[in-house]
Amino acid sequence: MKIAIASDHAALEMKADLVQWLGEQGHEVADLGPYDGTSVDYPDYGYKLGEAIASGAAERGIALCGSGIGIAIAANRNPKVRCAQVSEPLSAKLCRSHNDANAIAMGARLIGPEMARACVTAFLTTDFEGGRHTRRVDKLSKTPQDV
């Protein structure tokens, strides 16, 4: 699977760990940065991740920052992105099965590497259930006036 991953400086170590691990799992990983510990602004990287998903360059995305919250908000500015902030595998599974999430965000200051890998595994191996969820997911890319 083609996976884009981006972080801010607070999650640089977690990103490096996941990039290596995902590659070992056979995925094609696009590391969108940053590449050193220089302080950066998470919105810049959330926007890059959103563009990679929206353009089709990546099938799924992983967004990382200190809490996972800010970068998720930034990624979700793109109407083609459905990024859920997760901290355990059940949320990662439900965001796929019920919300057809195409990205997850995690906080490097909140969870460790094993939990991050467990969340990514659940996210990548869960299919969208469709059915009753399809109507709701379709509304997510519309403005409230269009619903």
Handedness of CA 31, 36, 37, 42 (dihedral sign): negative
At 11, the amino acid letter reads A
Residue 133 annotated as catalytic:
no
Domain ranges (residues) in the chain: 2-146
Residue 83 annotated as catalytic:
no
Quick check: helix, strand or coil at residue 105? strand
At 9, the amino acid letter reads H
Quick check: helix, strand or coil at residue 56? coil
Task: State the DSSP H helix or E strand holding residue 125, giving kind and residue range, or none if neither.
Answer: helix 113-125
| Active-site residue identified among 65, 83, 95, 119 | 65
Model confidence at 25: pLDDT above 70: yes
Model confidence at 129: pLDDT above 90: no
Question: pLDDT band for position 145 (50/70/90)?
Answer: low
The values of phi and psi at residue 3, to 5°, are -125, 130
**Residue labelled with tokens 């996976």:** 3
User: Could you tell me where the beta strands, DSSP code E, fall in 2-139?
Assistant: 2-7, 28-31, 60-65, 83-85, 103-107
pLDDT for position 30:
98
Residue of 36, 34, 5, 35 lying closest to 18 (CA atoms): 5
**Mean pLDDT computed over every residue of the chain:** 95
Handedness of CA 38, 42, 44, 45 (dihedral sign): positive
Q: What is the DSSP string of 12-71?
A: HHHHHHHHHHHHHTT-EEEE-S--SSS---HHHHHHHHHHHHHHTS-SEEEEEESSSHHH
Name the fold adopted by 2-146: Ribose 5-phosphate Isomerase B; Chain: A, (3.40.1400)
| Active-site residue identified among 9, 27, 83, 98 | 98
